[in-house]
Amino acid sequence: MTSEAEILFEEKGGLGIVILNRPRTLNALSTAMCRALDEKLIYWAGREDIQAVIIEGSGEKAFCAGGDVRALAENGPKDPRAAEEFFATEYRMNARIFHFPKPYIALIDGIAMGGGVGVSVHGSHRIVTERTLFAMPETGIGLIPDVGGSYFLPRLPGRLGLYLGLTGARLKAADTLYAGIGTAYVPSDRLAALKAALVERPLNGPQDVDEVIAGFAEDPGAAPLDEFRDLIDAAFDEDSVEDIYDHLDALDHDWARQTLTGLRRLSPTSQKLVMEQLKRGATLDFDDCMIMEYRLVNHLVSYQSDFFEGVRAVLIDKDNSPRWSPASLEEVSRDHVLKHFESLGDRDLKL
C-alpha cells in the first residue's frame, strides 16, 4: 500500500484501490489529495494489469464531504492563490475521472457532497448504500455546484438538476438511483464481499463489472423524489430564479412552502450564478464546463464575495446566519452575474 497520509493507494488483483483517509474531516479533499489521485490515475491508465479502479472513504460517516473550503477561505480575497491552486488541481482530477478509460467504481457509503460528488459521479459505476447522503449544497456557502456540476446536473431527468443545484436538497439511496446519480444499490455490509468479488474476477471492461455488481445489488425501495417530481419539473422550468420563487409562492403545497423557505436562506448571488451556469452547461462538453467553473470560482475568491461570508457562518463561527451581499435577488444585477463568467485570459484552466 502506498500512503500519502491523507490518501491511500493499493493494488490488489486487477484493481487499483483508492482510500480517502481523513475521517476526522469527513474525508474532505485537500490540494495534495487531488494531485496525488490525478497522478495515480494517469499511472493506472497506462498499466495493462490494472483493469479497474475503486474509490472509497475511510471511517463510518462519509465517503467524502467535499473540498476543504474552510482552509481555502482563511486567507480571504487578499491572497486567493491557495484557492486558485486547489480548484485548478481538483478540476484537472475531475476531468481525469470523466475521461478515465477503465471502469471507475465509487463506493458512496456515507456523505457525498461537493468535492465528494466530483470524485464519484463522473465514474462509470456509482454504488450507493443505505448510508448514502448526496447533496450539492454550495449555494448555502455562497459558491456554485462545481466539480463538474455544470455538466451532470443539466443532464439529469427533467429539472432535477436545477432543483438540486439551487436548493442543495439532500438525497438518499433510492433518490440517487431515481435521478441517475447512483447506478446500483448495495447494502453497506456487503461492500467488502463486492470488493473481493471484483478482485477475484478478471475484468475486461464495464460489462464484467456490471455482472459482478448485479450479483450484490438490491432494491432500495421507493424514491421520495417521485412524489414531487411533477412539482419540481414545473417550478424549476421557469426562466429566472425570481420566476421560480413566484411559481413556488403560488402553490398551496407544503413541499412548495418548504422549498421556498429554504431558498430564501441561500445566497442570492449564488442562485443567480447557478441559473446561468446550468443553462450554459447544458450545451457545453465536459472540459468546457470545467473551464467555465474555474472562471466562476476564481472570480468568487477575488473579492469579498458571499463565499467568504458563507464559510464564516456555516463552517467557522457556525452561527448559520450569513449576511449575504447583495441581500436579495432583486439587487443582484445581470452585469454582476455575467462578470463571473468572463475569461481569465492566460489564467484560464488548462486541461
Please state whether the predicted TM-score (pTM) of the whole model is above 0.85. Answer: yes
* Enzyme catalytic residues: 67, 115, 138, 146
Strands of the sheet with 52-57, listed across from one edge: 2-3, 7-12, 15-20, 52-57, 104-108, 125-128, 184-185
Return the C-alpha cell found at 55.
Answer: 474509490
Per-domain residue ranges of the chain: 2-347
Distance CA 101, CA 122 (A): 12
pLDDT along the chain (351 residues), means of 10: 78 97 95 97 97 97 92 83 94 98 98 97 98 98 98 98 98 98 98 97 93 98 97 98 98 98 98 98 98 97 95 93 97 98 97 95
- The residue type found at 10 is E
Helix (H, G, I), strand (E, B) or coil at 2: strand
Distance CA 32, CA 39 (A): 11
Cβ pair 104, 14 in contact under 8 A? no
- The residue type found at 189 is D
- Predicted pLDDT of residue 223: 98
Residue 303: other Cβ atoms inside 10 A: 12
CATH fold of 2-347 reads 2-enoyl-CoA Hydratase; Chain A, domain 1 (3.90.226)
325: number of CA atoms within 13 Å, CB side? Answer: 7
If DSSP states are collapsed to H, E and C, what string results for 113-125?
ECHHHHCCCCCCE
- Predicted pLDDT of residue 69: 86
Q: Give percent of the chain above pLDDT 90.
A: 93
